[in-house]
Structure 1
């Protein structure tokens, strides 16, 4: 008879030091048999919706959190009953003292799966997945360079408990000051969030300065909140908790608006030639099957205009007091989703052909609307575009994506009277809005970029003079 054991899976850090996630739904129930890397849950971080694969093969023994619950990173969310067979599941077993999972430097409690008994398995045979290291994969030949490094590190360094993870105390921004989270328990942190209390300002009266529930309540002189009942039919107000993507976006936009000195300039241009180009490309066999829109051409135009105006592709590093000039372009595209505004970016967009850019834009928008954008695609942007024209809007004053120097807003393409060769004609026109960080970009630089962008959209042949 094969012995079984209970293995616990803790919520992992799903990217960039995120401290919590909300359980949206479980894809399994207690008693279900799961395979390795089978999707077991859908969770929402502050940036995106992520599917969690199972790090074990076995039977679901318990679901520790209900859908709709915000869970701290490192907290157990599900337990599995698995065969107690050494390497059967390929996850390194802790040796009683809680050794760390190798490969990502994660300690038990930081999101790595933990176990209660067994023998140690060579980490060189463990393959990474989203949440740690999973199945044993039989390899032949010499171990990989990375595996040899992991083995050397595991042998040379004794396992030690990991120190508390340092997390940002404000909305994420490149160069932001990072501070250690105040000492408290998950229920107390949730209470503080519910009351709108900043734990940084609360002195702890517990052992070693631990912040207690009473400390949080006393800081406001308010009683502990009770769970409100659903709004009855005919109620004059509906209240929705601010969380997930919308909470992150709000914090990031407030920080950007009050940190970077915004300047916005406007330019209305005749884009008739660009619309004619789009029509010709759609009829060209080389572009058959590609989705081509004004955004496609405008994105390429932004990338070309940046070559002559590189200051708009930079970042203000407050911590080091340096201006960081990017020699690549990660082009952010603002996307409206049911969960709020996100700005995923296309990595190294400046290296893509028009067809490749078209494919990347289609994949980016489809993924964003489905709520499946990965945290890595939401970070590292260098300049952004927001296409407000799809909503019939002509112009606006877009707020910078944190850590970026500029953002372009594309207005709607409309037929309007326009002077051509001193005669009035009906042309297709578009308004461009450019917001930029005045610490990095002065008026001349911003104006030259906007003028170059307008020149390309007015006459796409102008690209030949800029490359």
Structure 2
């Protein structure tokens, strides 16, 4: 029996989510057969099986996040490894995984290092976690037992989360009650999940409990809207007139909670780090791209582009590559540790892509060395792979400068955030008809807006302006690409 542990498929990744299993227990697998799809912080990756044999157990469920190094599948290759895996994980059928682990299935550990075993996960050193608190049928959280009865002070009117039930009879204000928690003589705000918070003193709460009055149905007449004893007696003495409970109003409906993980989590962390590390500056330039749009139509007719998608983005990318060679500092990186600026004389051109999994920025390696037809093919393959969710971590590593095409969403411009480790990003807005002055006459032209964000530690205003001006000039007259190439 052999176990396949989740490998690090990226650059120092620590976890991944099981997206989809391609096999099930009892299936025969061969070496290098794709068995599972995982989603890391960078991409969806297909993992091949390193063994040949019969699948004994799947040790992680679809949708589960698994740490790197943890076994995810066991394969019966005809060998006998003894009473159980050394890692302490559970193999076998699903029912066997749900059974309690016996002590002889885990390695002997020093008593102070031995941790409780969570079924299906094995023994982990020093990572014991508290067990979740139970919930009552009404949705309220039962208080966990306190380790001691030492009184804990709480400011008056501080919200606390605990059941709406009253302290036991005989408890006194300021003294430990129910597990050592003190009850203040001041008005307390008590709320439980799914219940409306009310203001009332502990004696009033006890009175309401004894009389069977729901405090959420009582309108308080005391200070700050607190409920008094008279309010409780008034409701109790008026049968059939109490208002209907309004607890349900506190339950939020129409909301959806989406776990932040995988690519979305990594993107969020990277954008926050970039925005608060590199001093961003953004400049804008409106450009008459009529000639570029005509050039796109002509390129589509050429045999070299017969099976390639030609779009305005192709010429924008080419203009960025030419301008980056004219101004190498735009293609540099700030090395904080070494206190150096690293100028890169190659261009790995990143293209920001919106996918169902979130924002991805794969890059075309050595884009500066590609011919225009090869660049078009590379951009097409990059977009197709990203839409299919097959972008690999290596495809997104090592980018040097990025283009984000916001025009496909009908947007004119924006202030893009730098891709971490890069010094510039160009936003290409939508191309639309606008009145434009040509030779003293107002005529309709194809116009777009370019927005360049750059790291002001590396790129000063002059350099950023020159780079943006040249990109715009090449899009206004594509022949300049030939002159400057």
Answer yes or no: same fold by TM over 0.5. Answer: yes
- Match of residue 206 from structure 1: none
Among candidates 33, 36, 42, match of residue 38 of structure 1: 33
Q: Post-superposition shift, 1:444?
A: 0.2
- Match of residue 75 from structure 2: 80
Q: Deviation digits for residues 339-383 of structure 1, max 9, x if unmatched?
A: 100100010000001110111011101111111111011110000
- Match of residue 167 from structure 1: none
Among candidates 421, 426, 430, match of residue 403 of structure 1: 421
Query: Any residues of structure 2 matched to 1:258-407 within 5 Å, and which?
Result: 258-407=276-425
- The answer on 1:255 being equivalent to 2:265 is no
What SS does the corresponding residue of 1:41 show, helix, strand or coil? Answer: strand
Q: Distance in 2 between matches of 1:29 and 1:242?
A: 28
Larger radius of gyration: 2
- Match of residue 17 from structure 2: 22
Contact 1:33 1:60 in 2 (8 A): yes
5+ residue gaps, structure 1: 1-5, 86-93, 99-107, 110-182, 192-220, 224-232
Q: Deviation digits for residues 121-146 of structure 1, max 9, x if unmatched?
A: xxxxxxxxxxxxxxxxxxxxxxxxxx
Answer 1 or 2: higher relative contact order, Cα 8 Å, separation at least 6: 1
Q: Deviation digits for residues 432-464 of structure 1, max 9, x if unmatched?
A: 000000000000000000000000000011123
Q: Distance in 2 between matches of 1:395 and 1:300?
A: 20
Aligned residue pairs total: 332
What SS does the corresponding residue of 2:383 show, helix, strand or coil? Answer: helix
- The answer on 1:49 being equivalent to 2:70 is no
C-alpha change, 1:185 and 1:431, in structure 2 (3 Å) is farther
Among candidates 466, 469, 472, match of residue 454 of structure 1: 472
C-alpha change, 1:304 and 1:323, in structure 2 (3 Å) is same
Contact 1:43 1:50 in 2 (8 A): yes
* Greater than 3 Å deviation, 4+ residue runs: 183-191
Query: Any residues of structure 2 matched to 1:220-235 within 5 Å, and which?
Result: 235=253
- Name the Cα RMSD after superposition: 2.5
Q: Post-superposition shift, 1:186?
A: 5.6
- The answer on 1:245 being equivalent to 2:286 is no
Query: Any residues of structure 2 matched to 1:406-421 within 5 Å, and which?
Result: 406-421=424-439
Q: Distance in 1 between matches of 2:43 and 2:129?
A: 25
C-alpha change, 1:350 and 1:56, in structure 2 (3 Å) is same
Q: Deviation digits for residues 312-335 of structure 1, max 9, x if unmatched?
A: 100000011110000100000000
Contact 1:331 1:346 in 2 (8 A): yes
Q: Distance in 1 between matches of 2:161 and 2:346?
A: 51
C-alpha change, 1:46 and 1:185, in structure 2 (3 Å) is farther
- The answer on 1:64 being equivalent to 2:82 is no
What SS does the corresponding residue of 1:334 show, helix, strand or coil? Answer: strand
- Match of residue 243 from structure 2: none
TM-score, scaled to structure 1: 0.68
Contact 1:72 1:186 in 2 (8 A): no
- Match of residue 439 from structure 1: 457
Q: Distance in 1 between matches of 2:315 and 2:449?
A: 15
Q: Distance in 2 between matches of 1:190 and 1:15?
A: 32
Q: Distance in 2 between matches of 1:434 and 1:304?
A: 16
